[in-house]
Amino acid sequence: MKQVIVHSKARKELNRAIGYYERQKRGLGLELLGEVEEAIFRIQEDPRIGSPYKDTEFCYLLVRRFPYVIYYTDFPEGLWIVAIAHGRRRPGYWRRRKFE
């Protein structure tokens, strides 16, 4: 399986979302984390599982049960997760992020 590199801002986005859902209902944030981890595992198994994002080199995969989307690109050395974004807020804001 390919190595996964998660952009630091994508990690922060996920942490904020987990915190939000935990405040709504105890344990819900951990359920979000589990669904995101499952989606990333599916991407690792088959990077072609996601749909192309517009005219970019990125693909996206919807997270089950939650309104979040994982945007990523597949490099020979690994997978780069550029964003874990809410699917209905600020579309495309992450497109200027640089590989780190």
Residue 92 has pLDDT above 80, yes or no: no
Which has more confidence, 24 or 89? 24
31-83 tens-digit pLDDT: 999 999 999 999 999 999 999 999 889 999 999 999 999 999 999 889 999 99
- CATH code of the domain containing 19: 3.30.2310.20
Q: What is the DSSP string of 80-95?
A: EEEEEEETTSSTTGGG
> How many domains would you assign to the chain?
1
Residue 11 has pLDDT above 80, yes or no: yes
Residue 88 has pLDDT above 90, yes or no: no
For residue 50, being part of any structural domain is answered with yes
Task: Determine the Cα–Cα distance for residues 27 and 94; give it in Å rounded to an integer.
Answer: 28
The pLDDT assigned to 93 comes to: 66
For residue 31, the enclosing domain spans: 3-85
Q: How confident is the model at residue 20 (pLDDT cuts 50, 70, 90)?
A: very high
Are 43 and 58 a contacting pair, CB within 8 Å?
no
For residue 96, being part of any structural domain is answered with no
